[in-house]
Amino acid sequence: MRFERSHTRKAAFLAVASSLALLATACGGDDGSSGSGGSSSANALEGRGPITLASGKDTSGNLQNQLNAWNAAHPTEKVELKELPDDADAQRQQMVQNAQNQSDAYSVLVMDVVWTSEFAANQWITQIPEDKVPDLGKLVPATVETAKYRDKLYGVPITSDGGLLYYRKDLLTAAGITDPPKTWDELLADCQKVAATPGGKGMNCYAGQFEKYEGLTVNFSEAINSAGGSIVDKDGKPDVDTPEALAGAQELQNGFKTGAIPKAAITYKEEESRRAFQDGKLLFLRNWPYVYSLANKTDGSSKVAGKFAVAPLPGKSGPGVSSLGGHDYAISSFAKNKATAVDFINFMASEAQQKDNLTKTSLAPTWASLYDDPALAKQFPYLPQLKASIASAQPRPRVVKYGDVTAAIQQTAYDILSKPATDPKTALADLQTKLQSLITQ
Amino acid sequence: MLLSPTLLVLGLVVLFPIISALRESLFTSGTKLDENGFIVKGSTFVGLDNYLDIFKGDTGDRFWNAFYNTTFFTVVCVVLETVLGVAMALIMHKAFKGRGIVRASILVPWAIPTVVSALLWKWIFQADGIANQLIGTQVLWSTEGWQSKMSVIIADTWKTAPFIGLLVLAGLQTIPAEVYEAAKVDGASVWKTFTRITLPLVKPALLVAVLFRILDTLRIFDLPFVLVGPHKDSVETLSMLAYDEAFNTRYGPAAAYATVLFIYVAVVAYAFVKILGADVIGEARARKPGGGGGGKRWRKKNAAKGSTDTSVGAVAVGGGGR
């Protein structure tokens, strides 16, 4: 009997121990935010001295060069780079944890454009008076909007990103089409014309990113915005139960139903869709500018090098609307030396630094003037299209509970696209109800 | 003398997180905005609301779906892994040329970190991947439906059947060769030898391996998360729900989910151990009237099998528990 009991205990202990790892995750974020407000002192941008920059992994290698330039000019106010993981979700998690511990380890945060509302509402980042950022008016306005919460500025956009329509120029020309399609209907018609030519055999028409992840929110928003609808209106209220939104959702659903969008596209993220285009399986591809140089590589990795061009995304009756990507620099509320942080952000936002960054890393800048620079346009032929894309781009919903909102959008979009029996009208009405409970708090 | 520092460390690393998670699950924070759009700070005590919310409305549907998935994966994966693991152990136990290579290659999957093997299988299962080329049709493995469940089961079985194989192999090596010789002399068939000698004698080691796998699979997270993706109803498990809540900075509900899962794991483990325990002291129990119901049934089944296994069982389980 005694033996049995001790054995039972041992095994029960094992069970406890193995569940521990899980519990530890859950209680990792303590209620560190219970401290009293302190927002007035957090708003004062004072103090000079060394600061840190929390950024995702710098894959280009140019960020450190930019920091070195700053450090050489400001020996007493050096910036140290704190590299976070490559994955955006993991970056956000580390920044949230850091903020909940009220740690001053990160001074300047490199934030994805969709995080602003959540971080600002939690007062994890500091409001920046607009007169502290002299060049704000010279940036593309749509990018500046991403850094605002309730009309107050909480960051400065440093890089931007917009969707582009990549198309097979060679096949369109062979089918006698001179201009890329401006509308979704034109795009479908072009596909049929190309399919009739010998070069178009076995080609799929169009693909974007339709796997159930953030990219689906981007693509679904683009379809709805391009058809004249919106997911969240100008006042921040959900507005997805409209005929325009329905038209946009139906375009994508019909694309899957008719096979214009290949079935496999439901599993595509950026890279899968890029590979399909590079392997010559797609006539049209919606993707970000980074694809341009990769698809033009002549080392054999791309079968379409020199055969494609870019255009703005197609819309209902004219050019479509892209979802806005990119990164903003914000100041942690718990940071020391905030005056230095503001200066540093202005340095990074300057035209010279952005130009340097564009030429070395091809990251899209936020300065409007850089898109019109002829020398740059020669190096990056997609810049005029990208400018048009970013200038008319819509931000994704700017809401505090962005994680829940994007999950709800993904759920609805995925059902509409992957289950042909789903009625888009009811699905959008359900989404409207869900968003209403998530957005009004 | 050594006991008190041990208890202290155990208290710190085991008891404290559990209690702190339980406490956390009774609070909620960060749900209300003030007139300036800022989240009202501080957490409020909500009693058992976080637990009740789990079972209500949409969240309830999501919970029961995740509960079903977790249980489904546990039952199917563990059964498959046990069968395959025993087979692997029997192969590894055989003396033949190149046994070292076979043993090593069977153990490779177990040595690969789960996230890496999930990425590996994701690559195999992608739309134009090897799996589809082999079967000659395009199955979209990572979409909702039976196929995504199956991809998780395949990947999990591939990775962890060797673990069961390893533990069973250890059990096999404790069986003295004379037992088999005696069976041979008696003219027992291969199947009879397996069911009457091998299986009962490795059972203690096997049960420990199965218990480990059950506990592990109940907490399954990284494999479906990486292989199929988050928010997919077909493969969402309880751990993924807890993660999702924590990711959206709702630590109270996240702790509640984790606690529910903790209780579920504890109950399953207790039930399993209860059955196991009844077997370990089978003889002692037999003399005592009115043992547990489960124990009785187990004993009845065992009675037919012969009784040599009990003493070996006690020894081997003690070793395996480590």
- Please judge whether B247 and A403 are an interchain contact, meaning their C-beta atoms are less than 8 angstroms apart: yes
Span of A33-47, A280-294, A343-357 with lowest mean pLDDT: A33-47
Residue B313 has pLDDT above 50, yes or no: no
Show residues of chain B in contact with A268, CB under 8 Å. 127
Neighbours of B303 (CB within 10 A): 11
- Scanning A112-242, the segments in alpha helix (DSSP H) are 116-121, 141-145, 169-174, 184-195, 214-226
Residue B315 has pLDDT above 90, yes or no: no
Average pLDDT for residues A140-156, to the nearest whole number?
94
Q: pLDDT value at position A333? A: 95
Average pLDDT for residues B6-11, to the nearest whole number?
90
Confidence band, pLDDT 50/70/90 cuts, at residue B277: low
Residue A198 has pLDDT above 60, yes or no: yes
Q: pLDDT value at position B1? A: 60
Q: What is the pLDDT of residues A370-422, one digit of tens each?
A: 999 999 999 999 999 999 999 999 999 999 999 999 999 999 999 999 998 99
- Please judge whether A22 and B27 are an interchain contact, meaning their C-beta atoms are less than 8 angstroms apart: no
Span of A68-82, A316-330, B95-109 with lowest mean pLDDT: B95-109
**A441 at interface of B, judged by CB pairs closer than 8 A:** yes
Q: Which of A208, A210, A211, A205 is nearest to A282 (CA)?
A: A205
> Taking the C-alpha atoms of B20, B22, B27 and B30 in order, what is their torsion angle to the nearest 10 degrees?
60
Q: What is the pLDDT of residues B245-276, one digit of tens each?
A: 999 989 999 999 999 999 999 999 999 888 77
Q: Which of B203, B210, B172, B175 is nearest to B88 (CA)?
A: B172
User: Which pair of structure tokens corresponds to residue B247?
Assistant: 């990711």
Average pLDDT for residues A87-96, to the nearest whole number?
90
Span of A40-54, A117-131, A269-283, B126-140 with lowest mean pLDDT: A40-54
Q: Taking a contact as any Cβ pair under 8 Å apart, which residues of chain B between 87 and 116 contact chain A?
A: none
Span of A57-71, A115-129, A364-378 with lowest mean pLDDT: A57-71
Neighbours of A92 (CB within 10 A): 22
Query: How does the average pLDDT of chain B come out, rounded?
Result: 85
Give the ipTM of the model, two decimals please: 0.82
Q: Quote the percentage of chain A above a pLDDT of 90.
A: 80
Q: Are strands A308-311 and A108-112 parallel, antiparallel or unpaired?
A: unpaired
H or E element, residue A365: none
- Scanning A279-395, the segments in alpha helix (DSSP H) are 291-295, 338-349, 351-361, 374-379, 383-391
CB B280 within 8 A of CB B321: no
Show residues of chain A in contact with B314, CB under 8 Å. 3
Span of A192-201, A344-353, B91-100 with lowest mean pLDDT: B91-100
B191 to chain A, closest Cα gap in Å: 32
Average pLDDT for residues B9-28, to the nearest whole number?
92
Confidence band, pLDDT 50/70/90 cuts, at residue B183: very high
CB A338 within 8 A of CB A179: no
Average pLDDT for residues A66-81, to the nearest whole number?
96
Residue A86 has pLDDT above 70, yes or no: yes
Mutation target vs B (from A1, A8, A19; most B CBs, 10 A cutoff):
A19
Confidence band, pLDDT 50/70/90 cuts, at residue B99: confident
Q: What is the pLDDT of residues B68-81, one digit of tens each?
A: 999 999 999 999 99
Residue A54 has pLDDT above 80, yes or no: yes
User: Which pair of structure tokens corresponds to residue A95?
Assistant: 């920044």
- Please judge whether B281 and A14 are an interchain contact, meaning their C-beta atoms are less than 8 angstroms apart: no
Q: What is the pLDDT of residues A391-404, one digit of tens each?
A: 999 999 999 999 99
Residue B2 has pLDDT above 60, yes or no: yes
Out of B38, B126, B257, name the one closest to residue A121 (CB): B38
- Please judge whether A89 and B273 are an interchain contact, meaning their C-beta atoms are less than 8 angstroms apart: no
Average pLDDT for residues A15-34, to the nearest whole number?
41
Q: What is the DSSP letter of A56?
A: S
Max avg pLDDT among A216-230, A355-369, B84-98: A216-230
d(CA A220, CA A424): 12
Q: pLDDT value at position A176? A: 94
**A231 at interface of B, judged by CB pairs closer than 8 A:** no
CB A314 within 8 A of CB A186: yes
Query: How does the average pLDDT of chain A come out, rounded?
Result: 89
Q: Are strands A164-168 and A148-149 parallel, antiparallel or unpaired?
A: unpaired
Compute the 3-state secondary structure of chain B and give helix, strand, coil in percent, each to the nearest 5: 75, 0, 25
At a CB cut-off of 8 Å and minimum separation 6, what does A190 contact?
A: A172, A175, A177, A181, A283
**A322 at interface of B, judged by CB pairs closer than 8 A:** no
Confidence band, pLDDT 50/70/90 cuts, at residue B58: confident
Confidence band, pLDDT 50/70/90 cuts, at residue A20: very low
User: Which pair of structure tokens corresponds to residue A368?
Assistant: 């409007």
Coil/strand/helix, residue B93: helix
Residue A243 has pLDDT above 90, yes or no: yes
B190 to chain A, closest Cα gap in Å: 34
Average pLDDT for residues A81-85, to the nearest whole number?
93
CB A107 within 8 A of CB A341: yes
Q: pLDDT value at position A7? A: 46
Asked whether the whole model's pTM tops 0.95, one would answer no
Q: pLDDT value at position A224? A: 96
Residue B167 has pLDDT above 80, yes or no: yes
Q: Quote the percentage of chain A above a pLDDT of 70.
A: 90
Q: pLDDT value at position A24? A: 42
Confidence band, pLDDT 50/70/90 cuts, at residue B94: confident
Confidence band, pLDDT 50/70/90 cuts, at residue A61: confident
Average pLDDT for residues A285-295, to the nearest whole number?
93
Q: pLDDT value at position A441? A: 57
